[in-house]
Structure 1
Amino acid sequence: MNLPVGYLIGLGSNIAPAQNIPAMLAGLLDIHPRLMVSRIVRTAPKGIDSPHDFLNAVVFLPVDMPADELKQRTNAIEAKLGRDRSRPDKKLIDRTADIDLLLRTEPGQRDERLDQIESYLLPRAKEMFDYIAGRPTPAVTPGTQIETVMLDGCTLGQTPATIDRDDRAGLIRVIEQR
């Protein structure tokens, strides 16, 4: 598979996720006006004691910038949404926004690097690799709970999608879903 340069990014929220996932996507669209987003799934908390499920997705952001620069920008999105990264227990508590750089993609890269990704995000990451490559996306595993969110009047989450921010019209559009 010949992947473009960019990053696979994991998104998660278990505090008002129906509002915070779209807000994270909007923040990423400020970094690059086009991105691809996986299905959005509900997952039980991993590594934290919480009654609140997460909504999770994987995004492909086609940017060629150093990882540390992108991480600073994604941390700013998290902070804007109320995440306090200075807390020593930040990995063990509920969160409004969690944006993780999972993998930098390069031309000629193959799927085997995906095994570095957390198990709860791995199906969505594989889904993004297939979507980027134009291959059919696999059916969801039985028991997977697919969710939808609204972003600027567009429904996202049921299928992988490409979204675009059109600055001239001031709109966010879904330009492809499959």
Structure 2
Amino acid sequence: MRSRVYLGLGSNCAGSIQHILAAFKLLQAELDDCLLSPLYRSKAMYIEDQPDFTNAVVTGLTDRTPEALLDHTQAIEAQLGRDRSREQPKGPRTMDIDILLFGDRCQSIARLEIPHPGMLERAFVLQPLVDLAPDLVDPVQHRKYKMLLAELAGQRLEKIQVGETTAAGKVLWKR
């Protein structure tokens, strides 16, 4: 059974925009109807003495299980230079891919919690999610994400203009 998934992408190492776009290209090979949100720059939340993050959300359709998709996204992270054995938790990273939503599932296993447990407190997740799906409803709180985003108005985001185009020559987004 195919499920619509939403993945949060983040990077705060040199070339972060290129890392996000490279991850998107790799995810396009895996997900059908794959779309990328606008990119946003935000301050690091937990360890503030590090570079700003570039964030986006990707959505698409998959036949994989949540666990198989997690394995695949972690392989993409490694391919783009992430070494979990050497990084500081919540510290700088070349690529972080989080499974935010997986259809309407709510599940918690040792390696994965869906919906992602921190997403409702992060404007850098909710804004690009709302850009892709403005009427999407949280499966736990049963409220639209755009309403939840409004509660995070104090978190500053900067929209990044990237002139990336699709194969059809259409600009994915503009500032």
Does 1:92 find its partner at 2:90?
Answer: yes
Which residue of structure 1 lines up, in the alignment, with residue 23 of structure 2?
A: 24
Q: Check conservation: 1:22, 1:149, Cα contact below 8 A.
A: no
- Supply the distance in 1 between the matched residues of 2:127 and 2:116 (Cα, whole angstroms): 10
Distance verdict in 2 for CA 1:175–1:5, change over 3 Å:
farther
How far the C-alpha of 1:38 sits from its partner, in A, is 1.6
Structure 1 stretches of 5 or more lacking a match? 108-112, 155-162, 164-170
Deviations 1:75-106 (CA, angstroms, capped at 9, x unpaired): 1111011101224x543321110100011124
Distance verdict in 2 for CA 1:150–1:83, change over 3 Å:
farther
Give the CA RMSD over aligned residues: 3.4
Give 1 or 2: higher strand fraction.
1
2:122 to 112, 119, 124: 119
Code of the aligned partner of 1:63: T
- Supply the distance in 1 between the matched residues of 2:169 and 2:84 (Cα, whole angstroms): 31
Q: Check conservation: 2:50, 2:91, Cα contact below 8 A.
A: no
How far the C-alpha of 1:130 sits from its partner, in A, is 2.0
Distance verdict in 2 for CA 1:28–1:39, change over 3 Å:
same
1:146 to 159, 162, 174: 159
Q: Check conservation: 1:14, 1:95, Cα contact below 8 A.
A: yes
- Supply the distance in 2 between the matched residues of 1:150 and 1:50 (Cα, whole angstroms): 30
Which residue of structure 2 lines up, in the alignment, with residue 105 of structure 1?
A: 103
TM-score between both structures, scaled by the size of structure 2? 0.68
3-state DSSP of counterpart to 1:75? helix
3-state DSSP of counterpart to 1:47? coil
How far the C-alpha of 1:174 sits from its partner, in A, is 4.5
Which residue of structure 1 lines up, in the alignment, with residue 141 of structure 2?
A: none
Which residue of structure 2 lines up, in the alignment, with residue 43 of structure 1?
A: 42
3-state DSSP of counterpart to 2:77? helix
How many aligned positions are there?
148
Q: Check conservation: 1:32, 1:62, Cα contact below 8 A.
A: yes
Which residue of structure 2 lines up, in the alignment, with residue 57 of structure 1?
A: 56
Identical amino acids, percent of aligned pairs: 29
How far the C-alpha of 1:17 sits from its partner, in A, is 0.8
Q: Check conservation: 2:162, 2:173, Cα contact below 8 A.
A: no
The higher relative CO (CA closer than 8 Å, separation ≥ 6) is in: 1
TM-score between both structures, scaled by the size of structure 1? 0.67
Q: Please list every run of at least 4 consecutive aligned residues from structure 1 whose deviation after the TM superposition is greater than 3 angstroms.
A: 113-116, 140-144, 171-178
Structure 2 stretches of 5 or more lacking a match? 106-114, 137-145
- Supply the distance in 1 between the matched residues of 2:12 and 2:116 (Cα, whole angstroms): 24
3-state DSSP of counterpart to 2:49? coil
